[in-house]
Copies of this chain bind each other. A is one copy, B any other.
Amino acid sequence: MPEENIVYIGNKPVMNYVLAVVTQVNGGTAQVVLKARGRAISRAVDVAEIVRNRFIPEIEIENIDISTEEIVGNEGGATNVSAIEIQLRKE
């Protein structure tokens, strides 16, 4: 999908990511995917809800997927972390 854009949600303030999504959509991107892991998952949900409720009401949540990712540390040990993908689409 050439129109797909990914916004990775980390530890910055929520409004930084909201602005990133709004900028992409206003620039003509039809689909934006929010990706987050671990504690940032809650923030990804916040971003989707704020974009939809306050900025771009035409945005729909097309799909939400959750999964488990394995993170390998410097010592070689592996840890599992949950992840979420929220697909937003402007109708």
Contact = CB atoms under 8 A, between A and B. Distances in A.
Instruction: Count copies of this chain in the complex.
Output: 2
Interface in A29-86: 38-42, 45-46, 48-49, 53, 61, 64-68, 80, 82, 84, 86
A67 B49 contact: yes
A65 B60 CA distance: 12
Interface residues of A, number: 20
Interface of A: 38-42, 45-46, 48-49, 53, 61, 64-68, 80, 82, 84, 86
Given A39-B42, A41-B41, A46-B82, 9 more contacts: A39-B39, A41-B42, A41-B45, A42-B82, A45-B66, A49-B66, A53-B68, A61-B66, A66-B86
